[in-house]
Amino acid sequence: MAASEAKEINLEAMEFKPEFIEGKVDWKGRTAVKNKHGGTRTSLLILTAFGFENMATLALAVNLVTYFNEVMHYELADAANQLTNYMGVSYILSIVMATLADTFVGRFNTVLIAGFLEFSGLALLTAQSHYPQLKPPICNVFDPTSHCEKLSGGNAALLSIALYMLAAGASGVKAALPSHGADQFDEKDPKEAKQMSSFFNLLLLAVCVGGAVSITLIVWIQDNRGWDWGFGISTIAMFLGVVIFAAGLPMYRIQVVQGSTAIIEILQVYVAAIRNRKLKLPENPEDLYEINGDKEAAVEAEFLPHRDTFRFLDKAAIQKTSASEFETQNQQCPNPWKLCRVTQVENAKIILGVIPIFCCTIIMTLCLAQLQTFSIQQGLTMDTKITNSFNIPPASLPIIPILFMIVLIPLYDRFFVPFLRKFTGIPTGITHLQRIGVGLILSSISMAVAAILEVKRKGVARDRDMLDAIPVVQPLPITTFWLSFQYFIFGIADMFTYVGLLEFFYSEAPKGLKAISTCFLWCSMALGYFFSTVLVKIVNVATKGTTRSGGWLAGNNINRNHLNLFYWLLSILSLVNFFIYLFVATRYKYRPQSHNISDEKNNKTHEMREY
pLDDT at residue 451, rounded to an integer: 94
Q: 272: Cβ–Cβ under 8 A, 6 or more apart, which residues? A: 315, 316, 317, 336, 337, 338, 339, 340
Q: Is the pLDDT of residue 104 over 70?
A: yes
Q: Is the pLDDT of residue 38 over 60?
A: yes
Is the Cα dihedral 278, 284, 287, 291 positive or negative?
positive
Q: Are 98 and 181 in contact (CB under 8 A)?
A: no
pLDDT at residue 119, rounded to an integer: 95
Which stretch of 145-154, 522-531, 545-554 has the lowest confidence by average pLDDT?
545-554
Q: Is the pLDDT of residue 608 over 50?
A: no
pLDDT at residue 127, rounded to an integer: 93
Using 50, 70 and 90 to split pLDDT, how confident is the model at 241? very high
pLDDT at residue 260, rounded to an integer: 60
Q: Which domains does the chain have, with CATH numbers?
A: 39-258+361-585 (1.20.1250.20), 262-349 (no CATH)
The length of the chain is 611
pLDDT at residue 529, rounded to an integer: 81
pLDDT at residue 607, rounded to an integer: 35
pLDDT at residue 32, rounded to an integer: 84
| β-bridge mates for residue 479, sequence order | 383
Q: Is the pLDDT of residue 383 over 80?
A: yes
pLDDT at residue 479, rounded to an integer: 87
DSSP run (H or E) holding 234: helix 227-247
pLDDT at residue 321, rounded to an integer: 65
- Indicate the average pLDDT of the chain: 82
Phi first, then psi, for residue 561 (nearest 5°) are -85, 180
Looking at mean pLDDT, say which of 254-263, 473-482, 573-582 comes out highest. Answer: 573-582
pLDDT at residue 601, rounded to an integer: 44
Using CA atoms of 190, 192, 194, 200 in order, give the dihedral in degrees to the nearest 10: -150
d(CA 367, CA 299) in angstroms, rounded, equals 47
- DSSP notation for 60-98: HHHHHHHIIIIIS---HHHHHHHHHHHHHHHHHTHHHHH
Which stretch of 180-189, 323-332, 367-376 has the lowest confidence by average pLDDT?
323-332
Using 50, 70 and 90 to split pLDDT, how confident is the model at 216? confident
Q: Is the pLDDT of residue 132 over 60?
A: yes
pLDDT at residue 611, rounded to an integer: 28
Looking at mean pLDDT, say which of 211-220, 250-259, 586-595 comes out highest. Answer: 211-220
DSSP symbol at 559: T
Question: 305: helix, coil or strand?
Answer: coil
Phi first, then psi, for residue 477 (nearest 5°) are -80, 55
d(CA 464, CA 461) in angstroms, rounded, equals 5
Summarize pLDDT for 295-319 with one digit per residue, the tens: 544 445 567 888 888 889 999 898 8
What percentage of the chain reaches a pLDDT higher than 90?
Answer: 23
Paired sense of beta strands 476-479 and 390-391, if any? unpaired
Higher pLDDT, 375 or 455: 455
d(CA 263, CA 512) in angstroms, rounded, equals 9
CB atoms within 10 A of CB 271: 14
Amino acid in position 500: G
Task: Give the side-chain half-sphere CA count within 13 A for 308.
Answer: 4
Q: Is the pLDDT of residue 81 over 50?
A: yes
pLDDT at residue 449, rounded to an integer: 94
d(CA 107, CA 34) in angstroms, rounded, equals 19
CB atoms within 10 A of CB 406: 16
Q: Are 560 and 548 in contact (CB under 8 A)?
A: yes
Using 50, 70 and 90 to split pLDDT, how confident is the model at 236? very high
Which stretch of 55-69, 143-157, 591-605 has the lowest confidence by average pLDDT?
591-605
Q: Is the pLDDT of residue 391 over 80?
A: no
The whole-number average pLDDT for the span 134-162 is 84
pLDDT at residue 428, rounded to an integer: 76
CB atoms within 10 A of CB 603: 12
The whole-number average pLDDT for the span 225-241 is 93
d(CA 276, CA 269) in angstroms, rounded, equals 10
E strands present in 223-381: 254-255, 302-303
